[in-house]
């Protein structure tokens, strides 16, 4: 694991196995400099354990940067469960996962992510108090996806303002990859703003529902990169901006809710050279963790969440402006700010 390119001096990487329930999980804690780590749990049918570990290492580092940029009192952590989210879920498995989370004694707080919904987290919460994104409890706030999507939409506007000279999305064509929880809500905001949508996903039912409600055009998953659009909004899995896909994109903006969109940090420079303005993923998609942080505090306030979200979008604007003024990739600028905030807290 220490030789894995995604390892970034993580404070702890914890492996959990529970034979009776079939649980195979990894919880990675990247940093607790700013406070207890927090980040969602992803359930995915990984091809092998190396892919699983690489994913959780990258995701947990991204959460450290995301939480730092969102100015919340949390470090970065992430959990992954190896399994098919459509066929392998059981109550016993999520109870076992809840016990795994609880064994870390508050160094990691969990919530929903890809393949995991509120019902799953509420089962885990029967075994641990270190769970958020719940629908019951004094500070329960429910699924954080709508807040994430609102932030993504506002972030798209901020990025469009700098790329096109206006944040008006009326008539702009947006190619949306992934219409799950975050992508679906993002499509709703975009359609209400007058954008023309081209969408794709592996979930045909979700595609049909979004197309019915927004008038979006549906394309095959691999064809989304070839759409003649103004904006590409990735809202599915990561590592989708690479040398091959970048050559196919015809857009001026990349802005979406997916984590780890760049296959490597160095890809940010190639995106800049291509004349595309990229909204760093862990900045634009921080709305959900802000909502979760409000719940973890024990005194949930939507007003506090909205204020933090506006501050986050202002931060995104500053990142974009600094990058444009200095001729540097946006992810490099954001990384510097996030690392400096974490280092200051550690010191």
Catalytic residues: 78
| Residue 174: both structure tokens together | 């947006």
Task: Give the span between the Cα atoms of 22 and 82, in whole angstroms.
Answer: 9
Sequence-distant (≥ 6) Cβ neighbours of residue 249 within 8 angstroms: 225, 232, 274, 276
Angstrom CA distances, 311 to 35, 211, 254, 304, stand at 20, 32, 21, 11
Task: Give the span between the Cα atoms of 3 and 17, in whole angstroms.
Answer: 23
Decide if 215 contacts 197 (C-beta within 8 A): yes
Strand order in the sheet with 217-218: 217-218, 196-200, 173-177, 231-234, 253-254, 277-278
As a dihedral over the C-alpha atoms of residue 277, residue 282, residue 288, residue 291, rounded to 10 degrees, the angle is -110
Beta pairing, strands 231-234 & 217-218: unpaired
Cα Rg for the chain, rounded, in angstroms? Answer: 19
């Amino acid at each position: 694991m220490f030789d894995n390119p995604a390892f970034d001096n993580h404070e702890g990487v914890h492996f959990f196995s529970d034979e009776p329930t079939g649980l195979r999980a990894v919880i990675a804690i990247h940093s607790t400099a700013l406070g207890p780590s927090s980040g969602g749990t992803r359930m995915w049918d990984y091809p092998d354990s190396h892919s699983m570990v690489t994913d959780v290492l990258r995701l947990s580092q991204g959460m450290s940067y995301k939480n730092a940029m969102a100015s919340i009192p949390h470090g970065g952590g992430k959990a992954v469960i190896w399994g098919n989210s459509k066929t392998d879920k059981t109550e016993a498995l999520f109870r076992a996962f809840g016990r795994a989370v609880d064994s870390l004694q508050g160094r990691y707080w969990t919530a929903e992510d890809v393949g995991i919904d509120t019902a799953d987290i509420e089962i885990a919460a029967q075994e641990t108090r270190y769970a958020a994104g719940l629908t019951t409890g004094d500070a329960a706030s429910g699924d954080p996806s709508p807040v994430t999507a609102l932030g993504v939409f506002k972030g798209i506007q901020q990025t469009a303002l700098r790329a096109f000279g206006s944040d008006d999305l009326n008539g702009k064509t947006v190619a949306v990859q992934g219409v799950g929880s975050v992508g679906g809500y993002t499509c709703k905001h975009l359609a209400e703003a007058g954008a023309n949508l081209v969408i794709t996903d592996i979930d045909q039912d979700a595609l049909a529902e979004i197309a019915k409600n927004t008038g979006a055009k549906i394309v095959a998953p691999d064809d989304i990169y070839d759409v003649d659009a103004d904006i590409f909004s990735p809202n599915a899995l990561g590592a989708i901006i690479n040398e091959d896909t970048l050559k196919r994109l015809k857009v001026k903006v990349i802005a979406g809710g997916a984590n780890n969109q760049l296959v490597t940090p160095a890809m940010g420079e190639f995106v800049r050279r291509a004349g595309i303005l990229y909204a760093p993923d862990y900045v634009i998609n921080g709305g959900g963790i802000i909502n979760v942080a409000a719940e973890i505090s024990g005194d949930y306030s939507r007003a506090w969440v909205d204020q933090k979200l506006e501050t986050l979008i202002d931060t995104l604007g500053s990142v974009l402006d600094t990058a444009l003024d200095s001729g540097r990739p946006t992810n490099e600028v954001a990384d510097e700010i996030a690392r400096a905030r974490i280092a200051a807290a550690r010191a």
